[in-house]
Structure 1
Amino acid sequence: MATDELAEIEGIKPNIWLNDGEEKEVGSQTSKSVYKCKRTFDHYYCTCPAWRNQSRVPVNARSCKHLKSLLGDSYEEARIRLKNPDAPPPKGKPASKAKKPASTSKSSASNSKAAQKPASKRKRAVEDDVEEEDAEEDKQPVKKRTRSKPESTASNATTKDAAKVASSKEEDDVKMDAIQEEVKGGDGDDAAEDELASINGVKPKILMADGEEKEVSSLTSNSKYKIKRTWDHYYCSCPAWRNQGGMPVNARTCKHLKELLGDKYEIARLKYKNPDGPDPTGKSKPASKAKAAKGKQRAKADDDAEDDDDEAGDGNGGGAKNIPELLLAVKWDLETGPDPTGWWISEKLDGVRAFYDGTRMISRLGNPFTPPAWFLDALPKDVTLDGELFGGRGEFQSTVSVVKTINSPHWKGISFQVFDVPSKADLPFEERLSYLEATFGENGTHASKHVVVVAHDEAKDREHVLEKLKEIEGLGGEGLMLRKPRSPYEGRRSNTLLKIKTFYDAEAIVTGYEPGKGRNKGVAGALKCKMASGKTFSVGTGLSDKQRRDPPKIGAIITYRFFELTRDGVPRFPSYIGEAVDKDEPKDAEISKGGKFGADKDAGD
């Protein structure tokens, strides 16, 4: 406990000690509602609307009257000063004279930024982008929740594990309580203003709380779709919403959203979110049918933000878009791969690959990103840069959601992590890295807190690489990259760049099948599965044509491989391995610290 930064701040100890992962129930002071206060890493969370609505405050620097009641007013003031030293002092309080501690390294500076990202609401949020949902969500009905006894403060590893796998039903009940309280106006005067509650004087027909979901019926068929709000976004699972690949994700709409929220409100919202975009009233000249059809054909390409682990293609093919020629990695085999001695090690960031062409940023498939002008103004205009838009370790889903938006305050929590200079391709890698340091490093010509040069260490031997991999994964990182010394920049997949990361194996029970589409029409497209935890997901990757024609029977136990768990506790990028003929019940993987989004964090190649 002595080494825990939250054990004592400015000589002040909390009224009650919460271990990492421990939570307490706190009753509302003005209503019958009960909220959960929980600690995760260096954060304290509360499920009350007042805590959740502080969208412009870093997630680890938020407080509310429930946290103050639990931990103490003086402690909370000291903690907020520590976590957000540049914030204005509370009313009636003098500004703190405490200096912001200096970072000991580029790596620690990067971690600090990740720890203090604004607009996070990330721990609680479900899949942020409908286009990336690979698994079904739990559909258990929400019932009235009964209070449970608080957990002991003397929490041990078993208590932490139990907290992490708390029943989804209880979590859903708590979330619904918070949603209902928020819709009614929140818990007293702590509730912050919701930017989507009224736009230019126009209110929605129905106010959806952050994380709330509605099911709507198609106006022209028997189909049903899901409409959901996350942060300042509204999503719809209908094809019309998903096929607007050229539009920022928070400036899309469809007839189902218009029906639910109101035409006037949707027009006001789109103008607010994308003031320079097309006229949402439809008075501007409509796109031709040919262009619309072409847009639908390209819609699939809009999922490039997931990262380039999909080996189906490098994304450097033809098409009308200006697709950048990027250096792409080859997987390094931990046993048989080349000797890494002398190669350069860097962290494999769990962000969104971005190419800067001197004026704008585009994805590896040529889709434009829409960062604010102040974000681009920090970059030079006479070079091209290759890097990652990064929101912090384990924040991939939230990062994707932000970088697809325009006019969003959440860009303040994103950094451009630069690792190469394609316009200086013929120079040895070490010289390109020196240029980046001179440009964006400390006292560099274009130094900016939103632009970070990815740190590289020289590999001593294979064991050094494996130790570094264990270290990074223990911190919640995705893996490592290896760059060959003195290598040029090649606009293709090359063995001069290697990627290393660990996957997990687990078992699940088959509960059904999803029909195949396209070339798989008429056979199984994916297996519907249930984990030992009760969570459900689908796995289609890894199935052979023969297995799709004759899939494992319902009730069979299968083995699957995956990279990590999503916030909902389901596998991300699951791949079918085979039937577990020696098992009669599923078993979930034992996940390391970094294997679940937001698990212990400030929390592509």
Structure 2
Amino acid sequence: MLKPTYINPYGFALSAVCLTVSFPIFADTDINVLNNLEVKRQDISVPLANDFYEGADIEQYWYSEKLDGIRAFWNGEQLFTRTGKPIIAPEWFTQGLPKEKLDGELWAGRGHFSQVQRTVLDQKPDEDDWKNIQYMAFDLVESGTYDQRYQHLQRIVSRSNNQYLALVKQSPIDSTAFLYQNLQSVETKMGEGIMLRKIKSHYQGGRTDDLLKLKSFQDDEATVIGYKPGKGKNLNRTGSLYVEWKDGKRFYIGSGLTNELRNTPPALGEKVTFRFNGYTRSGLPRFARFIHVRSESL
């Protein structure tokens, strides 16, 4: 069997051995210092959505817009990503946040995920960039059903004097047609989709049908393992990313790459988020298009 070779835009080959040793190695415990306090990575388990399916009893759910930001867990003292990595936010951003544990999204508006990712994962917070971000709370980590938690969350947000804390509005669903009409409205405004939360569900971590996501497209992540040289106007630049998906499936992603990314593509081993519409007969994503680099810290 031939050893796999990875081609980069600079015209020389990298062996699989080179690829392996070029990866940085991180310690399991990531310790940051904030206001003279050591903040360690925490074990956090948040609810994760399954895809919406036909036949779901929509009368048991409320819906809200799916925000294209970074999931953030507030433990009453510190913000963390959903993987438990501390988020180093300016003190004025978190000042006045409640002592209760919140689940929400750091968001800068539709289409600004890259800006949020760059800002939130910066170990030295940029004061100006953080002013463009809000913490959009959609759940409260406590006992009780979701409708009970949401009522309590409404009171918490309304009493807060933190201008960067906001509530994600939840609304009942009249019908499946109503749901898809709202999906179309959200996507027309460049929103990502819709989230559905089961009203009588309790807060629990992991994949669950208590939380569903509805989009007219699908998205997933793949690992960059090589590059395809460009042609024509992209001569001497990256034409496509060669990626490895689940079950070892490999394919190229060229659509969605900006000129900047073609000049300086994501590094080998980085994960990228891509969007697609269904599958080919061989089970590969159809019409795959690049969205953004996905940080391992998330």
Matched, 1:479 2:196: no
Deviation, structure 1 residue 339:
3.1
Amino acid at match of 1:351: G
**Cα distance, 1:491 vs. partner?**
2.2
Q: Pairwise CA RMSD of aligned residues?
A: 4.3
Q: Which residue of 1 aligns with 2:133?
A: 414
Match of 1:540 among 229, 243, 247: 243
Alignment of 1:171-182 (within 5 A): none
CA distance in 1, matches of 2:48, 2:56: 17
Paired with 1:469 and 1:137, the residues of 2 have a C-alpha distance of: 40
Instruction: Please identify the structure whose Cα radius of gyration is greater.
Output: 1
Q: Which runs of 5+ in 2 are unaligned?
A: 1-6, 11-17, 263-271, 293-298
Cα 1:596–1:495 shift into 2, 3 Å: closer
- Find the partner of 1:387 among 104, 110, 126: 104
2:169 counterpart SS class: coil
Distance 1:415 1:399, change over 3 A: same
> What secondary structure is seen at the aligned counterpart in 2 of 1:354?
strand
Distance 2:149 2:246 in 1: 42
Letter in 2 for 1:538: L
Hey, what does 1:363 align to over in structure 2?
Answer: 81
Residue 482 of structure 1 aligns with an amino acid whose one-letter code is L
Counterpart in 2 of 1:327?
47
Does the Cα contact within 8 Å between 1:353 and 1:387 map onto a contact in 2?
Answer: yes
Aligned pair partner of 1:488 in 193, 202, 221? 202
Report if the CA contact (8 A) 1:529-1:539 is conserved: no
CA contact (8 A) 1:387 1:417 kept: yes
Q: Note closer, same or farther for the CA distance 1:337–1:532 as it changes in structure 2 (3 Å cut).
A: farther
Report the identity percentage. Answer: 26
Count of paired positions: 253
Cα distance 1:490–1:275, how it changes in 2: closer, same or farther (>3 A)?
closer
Q: Does the CA-based 8 Å contact 1:539-1:574 persist in structure 2? A: no
Distance in 2 (CA, whole Å) between partners of 1:498 and 1:421 is 18
Cα distance in 2, alignment partners of residues 492 and 450 from structure 1: 28
Query: Which AA in structure 2 matches 1:430?
Result: D
- 1:454 Cα deviation (Å)? 0.3
Shift of 1:376: 1.5
Map 1:562-601 to 2 at 5 A. Answer: 565=256, 572-573=273-274, 577-578=279-280
User: CA 1:539/1:474 → structure 2, altered by over 3 Å: closer, same or farther?
Assistant: farther
Shift of 1:407: 3.7
CA 1:461 to 1:277, structure 2 compared with 1: closer, same or farther past 3 Å? Answer: same
Task: From the superposition, tell whether residues 378 and 338 of structure 1 become closer, same or farther in structure 2 (CA, over 3 Å).
Answer: same
Amino acid at match of 1:419: F
Residues 1:371 and 1:579: Cα distance change in structure 2 (over 3 Å): same
Are the aligned partners of 1:541 and 1:574 in contact in 2 as well (CA < 8 Å)? no
Q: CA deviation at 1:243?
A: 4.7
Match of 1:329, SS state, is strand
Q: CA deviation at 1:373?
A: 1.2
Q: Which amino acid aligns with 2:56?
A: P
The answer as to whether partners of 2:197 and 2:212 remain within 8 angstroms in 1 is: yes
Residue 449 of structure 1: how far off its partner (Å): 2.1
Alignment of 1:123-162 (within 5 A): none
Write the distance in 1 (CA, Å) between the matches of 2:246 and 2:291. Answer: 25
CA deviations on 1:509-568 (whole Å, 9 max, x unpaired) are xxxxxxx99xxxxxxx467486998573324244655x66xx8xxxxxx7x7x9x94665
Give SS of 2:200's match.
coil
TM-score by length of 2: 0.69
Change (3 A) 1:459 1:342: farther
Answer 1 or 2: higher relative contact order, Cα 8 Å, separation at least 6: 2
Contact kept in structure 2, 1:529 and 1:538, CA below 8 Å = no
The alignment status of 1:462 with 2:176, answered yes or no, reads: yes
Distance 1:596 1:533, change over 3 A: farther
Alpha carbons 1:344, 1:457 under 8 Å: kept: yes
Post-superposition offset of 1:137: 10
Is the alpha carbon distance of 1:567 and 1:352 closer, same or farther for their aligned partners in structure 2, counting shifts above 3 Å? farther
**Which one of the candidate residues 393, 398, 402 is aligned to 2:119?**
402
1:63-98 deviation per Cα after TM superposition (whole angstroms, max 9, x unaligned): xxxxxxxxxxxxxxxxxxxxxxxxxxxxxxxxxxxx
The letter for the 1-side match of 2:154 is E
Which of 496, 501, 517 does residue 215 from structure 2 map onto? 501
Q: What is the TM-score when the length of structure 1 is the normalising length? A: 0.36
Verify: 1:378 aligned to 2:79, yes or no: no
- Tell me how far apart the structure 2 counterparts of residues 434 and 532 of structure 1 sit (CA, whole Å): 58
Matched letter for residue 103 of structure 2: D
Contact 2:275 2:291 in 1 (8 A): no
1:351 corresponds in structure 2 to: 69
- Note closer, same or farther for the CA distance 1:543–1:377 as it changes in structure 2 (3 Å cut): closer
Alignment-derived partner of residue 145 in structure 2: 428
Pairwise CA distance, 1:321: 4.0
2:140 is matched by which residue type in structure 1? V
Relative to structure 1, the CA distance from residue 541 to residue 486 in structure 2 (aligned partners, 3 Å threshold; closer, same or farther) is same
DSSP-derived class of the 2:131 partner: helix
Aligned-partner Cα distance in 1 for 2:216–2:186: 11
- Does the 8 Å CA contact 1:484/1:496 hold for their aligned counterparts? yes
Corresponding residue SS for 2:105? strand
Structure 1: tracts of 5 or more residues without a match: 1-135, 140-222, 224-237, 249-273, 279-319, 506-515, 518-524, 552-557, 581-586, 598-605
Q: Which amino acid aligns with 2:91?
A: A
Distance 1:438 1:528 in 2: 54
Distance 1:413 1:352 in 2: 14
Post-superposition offset of 1:459: 0.7
Offset of residue 465 of structure 1: 1.0
Aligned partner letter, 1:453 = L
| Counterparts of 2:70 and 2:240, CA distance in 1 | 24
Code of the residue aligned with 2:74 in structure 1: it is Y
Q: Deviations over 1:112-170 (max 9, x none)?
A: xxxxxxxxxxxxxxxxxxxxxxxx9988xxxxxxxxxxxxxxxxxxxxxxxxxxxxxxx
